[in-house]
């Protein structure tokens, strides 16, 4: 079965790539070659033109290749050969690519000197190669993060265009892809660079990607950030307030109306990369019930970890004395505990039915946080490893911020699928997911009895949701992890799935019966279901 293989990332038939496709692939590879040469400090004359040239060529190669792949095919689903290609079926090429990306991330996060990062802007290698572009945008020399940010943004743009072309028959997919392309380019890439231009000797704005919300942006309330915000006067304070407002007002309101998709597949940068560069690998997510169990434990543990870490960090720089400033250590801890207690009690009271099964886990999570808070109170300043704010912060930054979201989250795209981080690791996704499950108008509805259990929806769900298990029973899909990418609905050959926002009543309908059967039988089934309860 799997003897035929192709190298194509655009999932064309095993028959192989056309000549023009090979030309585009060659040009793209040349661009990567130039970047590689630059990494080894090869001195190129007119460096900026080599830089702009290679970036343009890389983008053109990706776009040209996919245009060739799809140009002779009418609009429609383009999944031919996905499982025949060793790049996209978790085969050898996929593993090689995974190892290569992982290698890049390890260097990026832990050994930036090998990319050429020097002190005080004395860069060499790849980082120096990107200096001209960085100076053009912010006026400063490049860093490894600038190199990464540029390649990241180009990836989202080039593969975004590929995705737009692949799904040109589907307006939902097009709009949300344009949205992530915009937010990445403007909010994550350009605006922070331009903000750096406003900096003077006595005025400095923190580097701030406005759409990057805590706890995804886990360092937003660390002392150096808060200091930067406060010293930057009114603008800094406004940014700080925006950071808080986006957690407590913007996020819950938008998630109530549209589900977590407004963030995860329309705005977020991690989601943006997953949906564009990562799209060829979405089918590799694990759909087993076991994976679902692991997912819930891991992602909610990360959430608990991030809440505790942030609380400990903020606690560590607040003062003891309530006379000097109203927000002191104790007030802060009590406020956090109170907020979480009210939240947990409210969920318990109003959403008891939905929670029945998960209540125990929720209680465990809540208990863990409270015990943690008590620990912070009594043990801060002591040498107990776990509750030292700095240890907690650096452990979180290393394990979650670098290893999980970067190395595993992106490096393993070709092995575990494109949403490993979003599914198993992202604390922001965990919060949004809890709200989506309990208090949101979003759901995926199914179309009566039309499901034929084919499995396209489940296969192409990047979050590993077994969509078919619901669709074939006529149930709505209301899952915490669903990022609302809409691909299940797009690949469904029988028009069964629809992403919708609607009233909360009847949203979770595990009592559903399939339309099309005999009315008496439907009554019998309903009767049967009530007996069970």
**Long-range contacts from 151-155, C-beta under 8 angstroms, 24+ separation:** 152/184, 152/188, 152/189, 152/269, 152/273, 153/184, 153/185, 153/188, 153/189, 154/55, 154/58, 154/59, 155/273, 155/276, 155/277
Q: Is 502 in the site for other proteins (CB under 8 A)?
A: no
Binding residues for other proteins restricted to 271-300, rule: CB under 8 A:
288-289
**Cα angle 216-250-238, degrees, rounded to a multiple of 5:** 85
**Considering the rule CB under 8 A, would residue 201 count as an interface residue with other proteins?**
no
235 binds other proteins (CB under 8 A): no
DSSP 135-155: HHHTSS---HHHHHHHHHHHH
Stretch that binds other proteins, among 30-38, 206-214, 218-226, 490-498 (CB under 8 A): 490-498
Q: Is 526 in the site for other proteins (CB under 8 A)?
A: no
Q: In angstroms, what is the minimal distance from the CB of 289 to other proteins?
A: 7
397 near other proteins (CB under 8 A)? no
Contact flag: residue 29 with other proteins (CB under 8 A): no
Cβ closer to other proteins: 121 or 455?
455
Residue 523 binds other proteins (CB under 8 A): no
CB neighbours (10 Å) of residue 527? 9
* Cα–Cα distance for residue pair 341/18, rounded to 1 Å: 61
Q: What are phi and psi of 326, to 5 degrees?
A: -60, -35
Among 82, 117, 302, 373, binds other proteins (CB under 8 A): 82
Stretch that binds other proteins, among 125-133, 328-336, 418-426, 466-474 (CB under 8 A): 466-474
Among 210, 355, 359, 469, interactor with other proteins by CB under 8 A? 469
Closest listed residue to residue 514, CA positions, set 473, 477, 478, 453: 473
* CA separation, residue 138 to residues 135, 142, 304, 504 (Å): 6, 9, 37, 47
518 binds other proteins (CB under 8 A): yes
Residue with tokens 């002191």: 328
| CA 282, chain centre distance (Å) | 13
Position 514 contacts other proteins (CB under 8 A): yes
Give whichever of 82 and 195 is closer to other proteins, judged by the CB atom.
82
C-beta of 93 vs 499, nearer to other proteins: 499
Residue 19 lies near other proteins (rule: CB under 8 A): no
Whether the bond between 352 and the residue before it is cis, its omega within 30 degrees of 0, is no
CA torsion sign, 207 to 210 to 214 to 216? negative
Instruction: Mark residues 153-192: x for contact with other proteins by CB under 8 A, - for none.
Output: ----------------xxxx--x-----------------
The residues of the shown chain that bind other proteins, judged by CB under 8 A, are: 1, 3-4, 11, 13-15, 74-77, 79-85, 89, 169-172, 175, 288-289, 447-450, 452-456, 458-459, 468-469, 472, 486, 489-491, 493-495, 498-500, 514-521, 524-525, 528
């Amino acid at each position: 079965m799997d003897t035929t293989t192709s190298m194509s990332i655009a999932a064309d038939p095993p028959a192989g790539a056309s000549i023009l496709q090979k030309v585009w692939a060659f040009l793209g590879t040349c661009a990567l070659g130039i970047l590689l040469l630059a990494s080894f400090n090869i001195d190129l004359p007119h460096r900026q033109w080599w830089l702009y040239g290679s970036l343009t060529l890389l983008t053109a190669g990706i776009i040209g290749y996919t245009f060739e792949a799809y140009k002779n095919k009418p609009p429609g689903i383009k999944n031919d050969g996905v499982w025949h290609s060793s790049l996209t079926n978790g085969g050898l090429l996929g593993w090689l690519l995974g190892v290569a990306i992982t290698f890049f991330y390890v260097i990026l996060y832990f050994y930036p000197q090998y990319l050429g990062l020097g002190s005080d802007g004395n860069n060499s290698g790849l980082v120096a190669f990107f200096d001209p572009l960085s100076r053009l945008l912010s006026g400063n020399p490049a860093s490894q993060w600038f190199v990464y940010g540029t390649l990241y943004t180009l990836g989202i743009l080039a593969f975004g265009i590929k995705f737009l072309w692949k799904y040109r028959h589907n307006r939902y997919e097009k709009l949300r892809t344009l949205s992530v392309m915009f937010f990445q380019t403007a909010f994550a890439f350009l605006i922070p660079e331009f903000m750096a231009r406003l900096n003077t000797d006595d005025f400095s704005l923190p580097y701030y990607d406005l759409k990057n919300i805590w706890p995804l942006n886990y360092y937003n309330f660390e002392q150096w950030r808060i200091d930067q915000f406060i010293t930057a006067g009114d603008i800094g304070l406004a940014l700080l307030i925006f950071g808080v407002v986006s957690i407590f007002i913007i996020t819950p309101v938008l998630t109530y109306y549209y589900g977590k998709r407004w963030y995860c597949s329309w705005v977020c940068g991690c989601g943006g990369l997953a949906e564009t560069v990562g799209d060829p690998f979405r089918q590799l997510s694990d759909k087993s019930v076991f994976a679902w169990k692991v997912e819930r434990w891991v992602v909610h543990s990360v959430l608990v970890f991030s809440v505790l870490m942030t609380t400990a960090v903020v606690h560590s720089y607040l003062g003891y004395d309530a006379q000097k400033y109203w927000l002191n250590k104790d007030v802060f801890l009590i406020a956090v505990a109170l907020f979480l207690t009210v939240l947990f009690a409210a969920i318990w009271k109003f959403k008891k039915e939905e929670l029945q099964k998960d209540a125990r886990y929720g209680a465990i999570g809540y208990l863990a946080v409270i015990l943690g808070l008590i620990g912070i109170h009594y043990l801060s300043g002591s040498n107990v490893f776990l509750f030292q704010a700095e240890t907690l912060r650096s452990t979180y930054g290393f394990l979650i911020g670098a290893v999980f979201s970067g190395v595993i989250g992106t490096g393993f795209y070709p092995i575990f699928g494109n949403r490993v981080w979003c599914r198993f690791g992202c604390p922001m996704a965990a919060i949004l997911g809890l709200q989506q499950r309990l208090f949101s108008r979003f759901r995926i509805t199914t179309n009566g009895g039309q499901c034929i259990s084919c499995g396209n929806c489940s296969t192409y769900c990047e979050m590993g949701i077994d969509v078919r298990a619901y669709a074939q029973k006529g149930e709505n899909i209301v899952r915490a992890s669903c990022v609302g990418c809409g691909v299940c609905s797009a690949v469904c050959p029988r028009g069964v799935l629809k992403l919708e926002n609607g009233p909360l009543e009847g949203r979770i309908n595990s009592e559903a019966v399939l339309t099309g059967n005999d009315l008496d039988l439907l009554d019998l089934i309903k009767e049967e279901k009530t007996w069970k309860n």
